[in-house]
């Protein structure tokens, strides 16, 4: 017989508030064309991207996260000191240790919460959301702050025609708290490690330290392979998430996929046979691919512009380097 006292958590968890931060500098395709041989029409037709935001020196990973977190906490109607855990998904915080989550927790006045970083690329928000849900139901935290943040401009090779136009910077955050009714569905997640070379950092940090190559490490990807995987495989994962939540496509109000590429988004909508009444996030047009930040940023914009409303049922799915993925159905805050 175990002597360990059982955890006393909430029956369910929900997203209570959302916040986002986009850097002030807006970068049009014309700037990208200064370093690659392409055209505005080609970039728009291949990706749907017209502009993206690039961070200034002052708009650090921590600074953007603090700004987004403040909005999410206010939107949730709680105080910072009530946050019991801070989870940050990022691939562009360049210190292996300490975790940037600890700095963010201190700067928002959260007291002494659990704080850690995760690295799950563009699926990172979904991974963080799932961890937060588990903490609340298990009872180790009442409120959890989940942040997706990237400064991908630091990892972009502006001379790489395949990726120079893709990436942007920004931070998105949500507060996850207790709920009396189901509001975050089961997560369908996983990885396909045999495809890990399709999106990667060009040079490992230890190699960079040892050899000091002229080029700083950047993100590279096999565009066609990633596109095919996202279009054909991620629609299946999205459908599995709907099935796990007991939701049919016609029951959805909103679809918020990772903002990787407009063609991928449109293809997933078609494959899932989403009805016309479903609002689809297409934030990629003006924000670019912000990896772990893209879903909460898109969620915040839909709510702020009235395209989505509190209580709507939304399917969210992230996918990227690894290759990893995570999809779930949530009730919007």
**CA dihedral of residues 221, 281, 271, 125 (deg, nearest 10):** 60
Structure tokens at 94: 């360049």
Of 239, 243, 296, nearest in space to 271 by CA? 239
Q: Give the integer Cα–Cα distance in Å for 252 and 278.
A: 6
**Residues in a beta bridge with 184:** 330
Spatial distance between the Cα atoms of 174 and 178, rounded to a whole number of angstroms: 13
- Which regions of the chain does DSSP assign to beta strands (E)? 12-21, 25-28, 51-54, 85-89, 114-118, 144-151, 169-179, 188-191, 199-201, 219-221, 254-257, 279-280, 313-320, 324-331
Of 206, 208, 205, 83, nearest in space to 147 by CA: 83
Judge contact between 261 and 168, C-beta under 8 A: no
Which of 306, 82, 49 has the alpha carbon at shortest distance from 176? 82
Q: Would you call 122 a catalytic residue per the annotation?
A: yes
Strand order across the 254-257 sheet: 188-191, 324-331, 313-320, 254-257, 279-280
Contact 168, 52 (CB under 8 A): yes
Whether 261 is a known active-site residue: answer: no
Annotated catalytic residue 289: yes
Catalytic residue among 29, 122, 159, 209: 122
**Would you say 330 and 174 are in contact if contact means Cβ atoms under 8 Å apart?**
no
CA atoms of 191 and 319, how far apart (whole Å): 9
Of the residues 53, 93, 258, 261, only one is catalytic, namely 258
Which residues are CB-contacts of 290 (< 8 A; sequence separation ≥ 6)? 148, 150, 152, 167, 168, 169, 170, 172, 259, 297
Q: Name the residues annotated as catalytic.
A: 122, 258, 289
């Amino acid at each position: 017989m175990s002597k360990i006292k059982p955890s006393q958590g909430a029956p369910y968890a929900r997203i209570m508030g959302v916040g986002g931060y986009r850097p002030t500098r807006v970068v049009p395709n014309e700037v990208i064309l200064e370093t690659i041989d392409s055209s505005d029409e080609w970039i728009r037709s291949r990706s749907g991207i017209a502009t993206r935001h690039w961070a200034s020196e002052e708009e650090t990973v921590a600074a953007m996260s603090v700004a987004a977190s403040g909005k999410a906490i206010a939107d949730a109607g709680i105080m910072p000191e009530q946050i019991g855990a801070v989870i940050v998904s990022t691939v562009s915080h360049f210190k292996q240790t300490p975790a940037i989550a600890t700095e963010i927790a201190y700067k928002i006045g959260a007291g002494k919460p659990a704080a850690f970083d995760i690295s799950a690329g563009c699926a990172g928000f979904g991974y963080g959301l799932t961890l937060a849900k588990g903490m609340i139901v298990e009872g180790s935290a009442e409120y959890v702050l989940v942040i997706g943040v990237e400064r991908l401009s630091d990892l972009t090779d502006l001379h790489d025609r395949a990726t120079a136009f893709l990436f942007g910077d920004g931070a998105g955050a949500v507060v996850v708290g207790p709920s009396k009714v189901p509001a975050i569905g089961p997560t369908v997640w996983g990885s396909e490690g045999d495809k890990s070379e399709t999106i990667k950092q060009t040079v490992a940090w230890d190699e960079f330290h040892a050899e000091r190559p002229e080029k700083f490490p950047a993100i590279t990807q096999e565009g066609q392979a990633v596109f095919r995987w996202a279009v054909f495989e991620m629609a299946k994962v999205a459908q599995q998430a709907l099935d796990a939540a007991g939701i049919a496509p016609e029951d959805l109000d909103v679809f918020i996929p990772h903002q990787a590429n407009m063609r991928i988004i449109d293809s997933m909508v078609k494959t899932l046979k989403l009805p016309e009444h479903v609002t689809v996030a297409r934030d990629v047009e003006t924000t670019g691919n912000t990896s772990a930040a893209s879903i909460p940023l898109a969620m915040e914009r839909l709510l702020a512009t009235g395209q989505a409303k509190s209580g709507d049922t939304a399917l969210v799915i992230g996918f990227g380097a690894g290759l990893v993925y995570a999809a779930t159905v949530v009730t919007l805050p």
